């Protein structure tokens, strides 16, 4: 189970939000590229980037910061990126620029034809971000709650050829109260593709609980506020999970 550091970008800086609220952001670094190098040095095997402004605007906003991170990573590990990806030209630009996987969120829900086209044009490189509250999917930077059921959409997207799903429980994101293990495992058990948990990790014990419950189904977990506030030491967590798996 991969432990994947998140670098959330707002106005060119590395921040963390509470429950997706753009007005409740804590700035952790003014140098996202340096932060990327820091997590690689700590043993990260993949990075998770989110263009927060882009998710709200519906188009890329933090491309300069993203390019700086790609240069800093220099193909050492894969990078997955979401936020404001709503057309094939944007995907092509990101993939050509060194992004390994693009994550489509709002557009996957609102424009399933676009998602299908993206999977066809960029096989193996398209993931879907399913952000949910009480089992219902949210869109537009989490500002709008839809009536779509998570499992129904996951099955549809699997048929399109999506590489994997990033599942976020909005109510837990940034709150350090633990991942919604039950909902994550329910989703991971319902589909035959990689599922990554996101939202709520607050301690090493939270990671261990997820691993013990779902390591055979959940491909990885996104780590945010916990590693930025030192509630979790990334290097120690990676070593602990590796030992647990052995």
- Residues marked active site are found at 8, 131
**What pairs with residue 5 in β-bridges?**
223
Phi-psi region of 10 (alpha: psi -120 to 50; beta: other; left: phi over 0): beta
As given in the structure block, the two tokens for residue 238 are 């990676």
Q: Could you tell me whether strands 144-149 and 136-139 are parallel, antiparallel, or unpaired per DSSP bridges? A: antiparallel
**Per-residue CA distances from 172 to 61, 176, 193 (Å):** 26, 7, 23
As given in the structure block, the two tokens for residue 3 are 């432990």
Cα separation, 105 vs 127, whole angstroms = 9
Residue 215 contacts by C-beta under 8 Å, 6 or more apart in sequence? 1, 245
């Amino acid at each position: 189970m991969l432990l994947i550091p998140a670098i959330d970008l707002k106005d060119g800086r590395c921040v963390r939000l509470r429950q997706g609220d753009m007005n409740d952001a804590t700035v952790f670094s003014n140098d996202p590229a340096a932060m990327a190098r820091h997590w690689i040095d700590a043993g990260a095997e993949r990075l998770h980037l989110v263009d927060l402004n882009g998710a709200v605007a519906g188009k890329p906003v933090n491309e300069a910061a993203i390019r700086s991170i790609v240069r800093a990573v220099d193909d050492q590990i894969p990078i997955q990126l979401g936020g404001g990806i709503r057309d094939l030209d944007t995907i092509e630009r990101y993939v050509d620029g060194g992004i390994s996987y693009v994550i489509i969120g709002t557009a996957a829900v609102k424009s399933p034809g676009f998602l299908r086209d993206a999977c066809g044009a960029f096989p193996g490189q398209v993931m879907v971000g399913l952000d949910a509250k009480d089992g219902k999917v949210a869109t537009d930077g989490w500002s709008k709650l839809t009536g779509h059921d998570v499992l129904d959409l996951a099955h549809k997207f699997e048929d399109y050829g999506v590489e994997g799903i990033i599942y976020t429980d909005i109510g837990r994101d940034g709150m350090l109260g633990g991942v919604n293990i039950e909902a994550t495992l329910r989703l991971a058990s319902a589909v035959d593709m990689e599922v990554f948990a996101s939202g709520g990790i607050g301690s090493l014990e939270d990671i261990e609980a997820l691993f013990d419950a779902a390591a055979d189904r959940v491909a990885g977990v996104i780590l945010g506020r916990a590693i930025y506030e030192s509630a979790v030491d990334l290097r120690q967590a990676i070593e602990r999970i590796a030992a647990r798996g052995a």
